Amino acid sequence: MTDWTSHTARARNWFETLRDNICAEFEAIEAEAGSNARFDYIEWDRDTDDASDGGGGVRGAMKGKVFEKVGVNVSTVSGAFSPEFAKTIHGADEDPTFTATGISLVAHMANPHVPAVHMNTRFLTTGKAWFGGGADLNPPLPYEEDTQAFHAAFRATCSKHNPTYYDRFSKWADEYFFIPHRNVARGVGGIFYDHLECDDEDAWDRNFAFTQDVGSTFLDIFPKLVRKRMHMPFSEAEKTQQREWRGRYVEFNLVYDRGTLFGLKTGGNIDAILMSLPPDVTWS
């Protein structure tokens, strides 16, 4: 079995670099809006049942004039899944030990005309090694031109790596980010991928390059959408619509989201896991 330790370190370094670049860009947007909001960074260690090092992460959070609440987390953890949970994880059915490193971002915006967004990329090793992730747009007040721009950016990125990726991964996002009990989509989609397996060095290089480009594409397209909408006037009725939409977001993340379940099942930091929840929500 391949020792993926150095690969995990390389992936972690990239996720930390991406975090730093995203946070700097978001702080620049706040400054353009006349705000001095900055990210606060809180380190956390994963609790284990013994004296072993289970890893941990850094939770970055900011509340500002444009970003009502945004979290950007990077974590690197290791350990063993419970026998029952291992059955649900790719490659862990025979060996429950794992390592996982990744970045997870959720932004809830003050102006309801600015779309909320989610982005996550990760590298996991169990009995197999693979990349997963994606990004999806979640506007309370959708604009078709914003949706098209977001999808076009990721379509171009996917096409650079594999002509089948965009059709496969955008469909996967539509299917995954869906709320069955409401019979509605969580947002307007994007891409979602998982289990891009690394059987050898060539596969690692190929999948890592794609995952890096997903992060870079997000960093390019989302700030453009924010700057386009952040100064638009909005009514109290539109703010109410945003709060009600956020309720759907909460329902998905607490009932269906795999990342939330993974964090809770592996002893992750509760505040980091639940940073995806919006600050101000209404259920009508």
Q: Which residues are catalytic?
A: 118
Helix (H) / strand (E) element for 148: namely helix 144-161
Helix (H) / strand (E) element for 210: namely helix 201-229
Nearest to 132 by CA among 190, 56, 191: 191
What is the spatial distance between Cα 176 and Cα 152, in angstroms, rounded to a whole number? 20
Burial (Cβ within 10 Å: 0-12, 13-18, ≥19) of residue 10: middle
Nearest to 125 by CA among 3, 29, 215: 3
Nearest to 130 by CA among 97, 91, 96, 162: 91
